[in-house]
Amino acid sequence: MSELGDGTRVVHAVEAVPGEPFGAQPVFASVYHLGGQDTYGRTGNPTWRALESVLGSLDGGECVVFPSGMAAISAVLRTVLSTGDTLMLPSDGYFVARRFASEMDINVVQVPTAGPYPSFEDVRLVLLESPSNPGLDVCDIATLADAAHAAGALVAVDNTTATPLGQRPLELGADIVVSSDTKAVAGHSDVQFGHVTAASPDLAASFRDARALSGAIPGPFETWLTLRGLGTLDLRLERQAKNAAALYELLSGRVAGLRWPGAAEDPAHLLAAQQMRRFNGVLTFELESAEAVETFLAKSRLVSAATSFGGLHSTADRRAQWGDPVPEGLVRFSAGCEDTRDLVTDVSQALGLV
């Protein structure tokens, strides 16, 4: 049988067993009777393994789950990098990752996602983010991975915006994938979660050891919520991308800085279409000021102010308020799963486009 489609894979993420409940159930034990696979709750949990199995399958490697996206990123940086090593990371990517790196005893080189990239000589780890958050720029993962590997560097890709269904960085040559599953993977704005997937089993084992030693472990209930949310990721992405496309058409020529890699007119579209399997519902645009963003949100009935993305509800986040080096009126808009007509009508009236 050929490879199953995305929808089938996430719905049937956990094998059905006759007489057992549908899907993996949360196992809350902290202590186990010795003799089986599990011994203590900080080192292993059946619910972790169920989610790791499906996320690893989707990413194409071996997965280790964490209690948040930043827990996943920080575990990678602390495990791979030693004192004096050099990290290259995006200057326009997630700002908390830059802050964390700046407090480590390492050398940090910041490069815009779209480049140009300097030499990778003497670089230990290259952390990419494509599409970037919040600017939605795209980089050529395969080309950069080849160049980094030739210089002896490892490559990690923050795949949060793309999701495991939208992009497979390991197939493009990356060594590590990190993701904040708080966003689209869990998808219901009710859980903090993250994961790391490595192409090398040895590298995955080092992340698993780091998790056990640090105690940064996800709760079984949160793990189950993420696994439950994953089952509808395919359906949610389809509606969110449809809504983003409709909003892009509405806003084109009417707002500044409009970006959505799924649009043929977007400067990143050609490269994004080559390395991404599908697009999502995140777009950005600029309004005149912070006050203009507040007015837009006050007039909207369907769009909420929130600082996450990828959930069921459409949200807008003025990124400058959190420290991103972007214009005061830049909005990261996360198109939700509302009816397309309703969302377009609401955004149109809230921006005064009717």
* Active-site choice (6, 38, 94, 117): 94
CB 292 within 8 A of CB 264: no
Q: Which long-range contacts (CB under 8 A, 24 or more apart) does 335-339 make?
A: 335/240, 335/241, 335/243, 335/244, 335/247, 335/281, 335/282, 335/283, 336/240, 336/243, 336/281, 336/311, 336/312, 337/236, 337/239, 337/240, 337/243, 337/312, 337/313, 338/243, 338/302, 338/313, 338/314
Pairing of strands 256-259, 194-198: unpaired
- Give CA–CA dist 17/64, Å, rounded: 24
Instruction: Work out the angle between the directed axes of helices 69-80 and 95-102 (0-180°, nearest 10).
Output: 40
DSSP 139-151: --HHHHHHHHHHT
Q: Tell me if residue 119 falls in helix, strand or coil.
A: coil
* Domains defined for the chain, CATH in brackets: 6-230 (3.40.640.10), 233-350 (3.90.1150.10)
Catalytic residue among 38, 59, 92, 158: 158
Active site residue 242: no
Residue 183 annotated among the catalytic residues of the structure: yes
Residue 77's pLDDT is 98
Between helix 220-230 and helix 46-59 the angle, nearest 10°, is: 40
Please give the backbone phi and psi of residue 333, each rounded to the nearest 5 degrees, phi first: -105, 125
Question: Is 99 labeled as catalytic in the residue annotation?
Answer: no
For the record, the structure tokens of 130 come out as: 């494509």
Q: How far apart are CA 110 and CA 92, in angstroms?
A: 9
pLDDT of the residue at 313: 98
* 154-158 sheet: strands from edge to edge: 62-66, 194-198, 176-180, 154-158, 125-129, 86-90, 107-111
| Per annotation, catalytic residue among 9, 98, 168, 183 | 183
Cα 9 to Cα 14: distance, rounded to the nearest angstrom? 9
Grouping H, G, I as helix, E, B as strand and the rest as coil, residue 127 is: strand
Half-sphere exposure of 29 (CA within 13 A, CB side): 13
Catalytic residue flag (residue 42): yes
Do residues 29 and 46 touch, judged by C-beta distance below 8 A? no
Provide the 8-state DSSP code for 123. Answer: -
DSSP E strands in 308-354: the ranges are: 315-318, 330-334
In order of 40, 50, 86, 208, 288, the CA distances from 29 in angstroms are 8, 16, 41, 19, 53
Q: Which candidate in 42, 49, 242, 278 is catalytic?
A: 42
Residue among 105, 241, 245, 50 at smallest CA distance from 161 = 241
Predicted confidence at residue 2, as pLDDT, reads 62
Model pLDDT, residue 37: 94
Q: How far are the Cα atoms of 109, 276, 283, 332 from residue 254, in angstroms, in the given order? A: 36, 27, 14, 16
Model pLDDT, residue 1: 42
Buried/exposed code over 12-36 (b: 16+ C-beta within 10 A; e: otherwise): ebbeeeeeeeebbebbeeeebeeee
> Looking at residue 180, what is its pLDDT?
98
One digit per residue, pLDDT tens: the chain, 354 residues?
468 999 999 998 888 888 888 888 999 999 999 999 999 999 999 999 999 999 999 999 999 999 999 999 999 999 999 999 999 999 999 999 999 999 999 999 999 999 999 999 999 999 999 999 999 999 999 999 999 999 999 999 999 999 999 999 999 999 999 999 999 999 999 999 999 999 999 999 999 999 999 999 999 999 999 999 999 999 999 999 999 999 999 999 999 999 999 999 999 999 999 999 999 999 999 999 999 999 999 999 999 999 999 999 999 999 999 989 999 999 999 999 999 999 999 999 999 998
Please state, in angstroms and rounded to a whole number, the distance separating the CA atoms of residues 281 and 304. 15
